[in-house]
């Protein structure tokens, strides 16, 4: 079943804008608009960025930079978890192999005692 899309109006930079989103995702859209509006205001409050267009561009660039950094962190975390899982599997193999060796030695010792 396809997700139903709906029209949502949200104020971006003080002006109402129409967006289409999946029904049930309205709050995420409003949260994203709110974040964008806050970031644009932050950029406008900086002494070097005054007009709305440049503030919007700077806010978008900053948000993209943050997304890239989060993706990089996620990739690093994923890689570290993969390495840890591989080490845990290797440790389990070593434990199992050690147990097999010990059992073999014990059997050999028992065989010698029983002769």
Q: Please, what is the average pLDDT of the chain?
A: 87
Phi, psi at residue 2, to the nearest 5°? -75, 145
| pLDDT for res 90 | 75
What is the rounded CA–CA span in Å between residue 62 and residue 41?
13
Higher-confidence position of 93 and 53: 53
Burial of 87 (0-12, 13-18, 19+ CB in 10 A): exposed
Whole-structure pTM value: 0.65
Q: Between the CA atoms of 46, 48, 52 and 53, what dihedral angle is there, to the nearest 10 degrees?
A: -130
**What's the start-to-end Cα distance of the chain, in Å?**
74
Summarize the confidence of residues 81-104 as an average pLDDT: 80
pLDDT range class, residue 1, cuts 50, 70, 90: low
What pLDDT is recorded for position 4? 95
Domain map (residue ranges) of the chain:
5-84
Output the pLDDT for position 50.
78
């Amino acid at each position: 079943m396809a997700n139903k899309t709906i029209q949502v109006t949200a104020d971006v930079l003080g002006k109402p804008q129409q967006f289409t989103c999946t029904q049930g995702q309205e709050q995420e859209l409003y949260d994203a608009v709110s974040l964008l509006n806050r970031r644009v205001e932050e950029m406008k409050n900086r002494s070097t960025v005054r007009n709305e267009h440049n503030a919007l561009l700077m806010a978008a660039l900053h948000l993209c930079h943050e997304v890239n950094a989060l993706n990089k962190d996620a990739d690093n975390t994923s890689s570290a978890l993969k390495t840890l899982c591989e080490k845990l599997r290797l440790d389990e193999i070593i434990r199992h192999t050690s147990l097999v060796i010990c059992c073999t030695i014990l059997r050999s010792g028992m065989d010698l005692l029983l002769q």
